[in-house]
Amino acid sequence: MQHGTRPGGIEVIAGVMFSGKSEELIRRVRRAVIARKRVQVFKSHLDARYAGLYTLSTHDGGTVEAEPVDCSEEIMGRRRPETEVVAVDEVHFRGLPFGPMPTLLAIAEIVDKLQAICVVCGDAASRNQRLVNGRPALWDSPTIMVGGRESYEARCRHCHRVPRHDEDQTALL
Ligand code: ADP
Ligand code: ZN
């Protein structure tokens, strides 16, 4: 983000799936529009869930318009000179700190980490439980798989399971 000749800043909204990251991003985008900022919203081209490829949506159905991109370089290419706020949904898809997240968390001015509700026990949830055929996914299952409730659950640290190959998956919730 650039305001005149002054450099802008980075805000990161982190947290488990269903913790309200998209809701919070949409809230900040709407507030920036109210503040008459020129805003561009980007999202991954992989993510066509809910309202479709050109819309940023929440699990609840809230939406704003967004431009799908393949990679972060494309964001720089599409950024209009007059744009003051750049919003990016889903910089990564899983609980492991891979991709740009560690760097973004380190250099951001503002970091908010949100929690969901654990679907097993009702406590605050900080983990994405990946399910394959309704069972906790093995630790080495492929990384990227876009999905909603059928593939991932929000769970607390206590209820989160990452079985090894020598564990009996059918015994795990
Ligand atoms: P995120 O972008 O973090 O995945 P969203 O903003 O898309 O989250 O969705 C948040 C909404 O999801 C909540 O306001 C709530 O209505 C709904 N929701 C569904 N399951 C859960 C859960 N286990 N915990 C909290 N909210 C949930
Ligand atoms: Zn729990």
Report the pLDDT value the prediction gives residue 1, as an integer from 0 to 100: 46
At residue 102, the 3 state secondary structure works out as helix
Q: Which of 20-24, 41-45, 154-158, 165-169 has the lowest mean pLDDT?
A: 165-169
Selected catalytic residue, list 23, 24, 84, 90: 90
Do 2-114 and 115-173 agree at the fold level?
A: no
User: 115 CA to middle of ligand 1, Å?
Assistant: 9
Domain 115-173 class, CATH top level: alpha beta
Q: Give the pLDDT confidence of 59-117 residue by residue, as tens digits.
A: 777 778 888 888 878 888 999 999 999 999 877 656 455 678 888 999 999 999 999 99
CA gap 149, 1 in Å, rounded: 34
**Residue 24 known to be catalytic:** no
Ligand nearest to the CA of 159: 2
DSSP E strands, the chain: 2-3, 6-7, 11-15, 39-44, 55-57, 63-65, 67-69, 85-88, 110-114, 116-117, 124-125, 127-132, 135-136, 152-155
**Structure tokens that stand for 129 in this block:** 């439980």
At residue 129, the 3 state secondary structure works out as strand
Note the pTM of the prediction, 2 decimals. 0.82
The residue extents of the domains of the chain are 2-114, 115-173
In CATH, 2-114 is 3.40.50.300: yes
Question: Which residue among 59, 64, 123 has the greatest number of ligand 1 atoms within 8 angstroms of its CB, and so is best to mutate?
Answer: 59
CA gap 17, 132 in Å, rounded: 16
CA gap 62, 21 in Å, rounded: 12
Ligand nearest to the CA of 149: 1
Nearest to residue 117, comparing CAs of 12, 15, 3? 15
Report the pLDDT value the prediction gives residue 12, as an integer from 0 to 100: 95
Q: Give the pLDDT confidence of 102-131 residue by residue, as tens digits.
A: 889 999 999 999 999 999 999 999 999 988
